[in-house]
Amino acid sequence: MPGCLRRNVVVSFLFAPAVAGATGVAVQVQDATGKVLPDTVIYIEAEGGAATGKPGTALIEQKGLKFLPLVTVVQTGAMINFPNNDKVRHHIYSFSPAHKFDQKLYSGQAASPQVFDKAGTVVLGCNIHDKMIAYIKVVDTPYFAKTDGAGAVRIDLPAAGKYVVKAWHYNTVGGATPEQVLTVKIGELATAIFKLPMKPIVVGDPGT
Ligand SMILES: [Cu+2]
């Protein structure tokens, strides 16, 4: 009977498994005037949860007398390599308490990889080229990413729960790292907007 057929269609639609969306957090970052902020590090800690996951490796190359990328984020314990893809030699160093090192003049692949085993901010410079600068944010969590050109980022999370979401940008006043606590539900993206207080851009700033 046609009536039965129609009812069957409705029933099967109601019981079809819901298509699960991503579970995680979508963040938008702006400065105090509403301008979007790329290259902001967003990292997420589970409230009361221990960090898991493998720290992995990363690469910061030197090309065109610059460190690329300008900003890198890694989990505590990660190893970073520093290939020199310029024809000139570089001498890279960090005075940052989170990881001090001094890599004497080198070419090509000769730099020793560095292991970043302490959470914090590491600023890299080059002894030969004063304008070269790079920032490494070392975080105690496997959930992190940088905002894209539109100041946006999405980070997937493995489970529902309460999470502390933090935003760090190398140019904030006083190194401010604001945080927000978000409740994440399965199959949903919790959202947050951060407005960061930025230092005025100085002419000749190597970060510009
Ligand atoms: Cu250099």
- Cα(85) to centroid(ligand 1), Å: 11
Per-residue confidence band for 162, with pLDDT thresholds at 50, 70 and 90: very high
- Cα(48) to centroid(ligand 1), Å: 42
Average pLDDT of the residues in 113-132: 97
Q: Which of 3-7, 107-111, 202-206 has the lowest mean pLDDT?
A: 3-7
Average pLDDT of the residues in 53-80: 96
pLDDT surpasses 50 at 146: yes
Q: What CATH code is assigned to 14-50+143-196? A: 2.60.40.10
Which pLDDT score, from 0 to 100, does residue 175 have?
Answer: 85
Q: Report d(CA 115, CA 80) in Å as an integer.
A: 6
Q: Report d(CA 141, CA 82) in Å as an integer.
A: 23
Which pLDDT score, from 0 to 100, does residue 19 have?
Answer: 47
- Would you list the domain boundaries of the chain? 14-50+143-196, 57-139
The distance from CA 17 to its chain's CA centroid, rounded to whole angstroms, is 34
Residue 105 CA: distances (Å) to CA of 31, 51, 64, 110: 38, 36, 16, 9
Residue 140 in tokens: 């105690």
Which CATH number is 57-139's, of 3.20.20.70, 2.40.50.140, 2.60.40.420, 3.40.50.150?
Answer: 2.60.40.420
- Cα(95) to centroid(ligand 1), Å: 16
- Cα(135) to centroid(ligand 1), Å: 15
Comparing 114 with 16, the larger pLDDT belongs to 114
- Cα(44) to centroid(ligand 1), Å: 33
Per-residue confidence band for 101, with pLDDT thresholds at 50, 70 and 90: very high
**Which helix (H) or strand (E) segment is 68 a member of?**
strand 66-68
Per-residue confidence band for 164, with pLDDT thresholds at 50, 70 and 90: very high
* Region for 4 from its dihedrals, namely left if φ exceeds 0, alpha if ψ lies in -120 to 50, beta otherwise: alpha
- Cα(130) to centroid(ligand 1), Å: 8
Asked if the bond preceding 69 is cis, omega within 30° of 0, the reply is yes
- Cα(58) to centroid(ligand 1), Å: 19
Residue 71 in tokens: 């900003």
- Cα(105) to centroid(ligand 1), Å: 8
Residue 103 CA: distances (Å) to CA of 106, 126, 131: 8, 9, 17
Yes or no: say if 128 and 93 are a contact pair by the CB < 8 Å rule. Answer: no
Average pLDDT of the residues in 170-199: 95
Q: Report d(CA 197, CA 201) in Å as an integer.
A: 12
Average pLDDT of the residues in 136-153: 97
- Cα(60) to centroid(ligand 1), Å: 13
- Cα(112) to centroid(ligand 1), Å: 16
Residue 93 CA: distances (Å) to CA of 72, 102, 122, 137: 16, 4, 10, 16
- Cα(1) to centroid(ligand 1), Å: 81
Average pLDDT of the residues in 171-195: 95
Tens of pLDDT along 3-62?
444 444 444 444 444 446 899 999 999 999 999 999 999 999 988 766 677 889 999 999
Which pLDDT score, from 0 to 100, does residue 17 have?
Answer: 45
- Cα(92) to centroid(ligand 1), Å: 7
Which pLDDT score, from 0 to 100, does residue 5 have?
Answer: 45
Which pLDDT score, from 0 to 100, does residue 16 have?
Answer: 44
- Cα(94) to centroid(ligand 1), Å: 13
Which pLDDT score, from 0 to 100, does residue 52 have?
Answer: 75
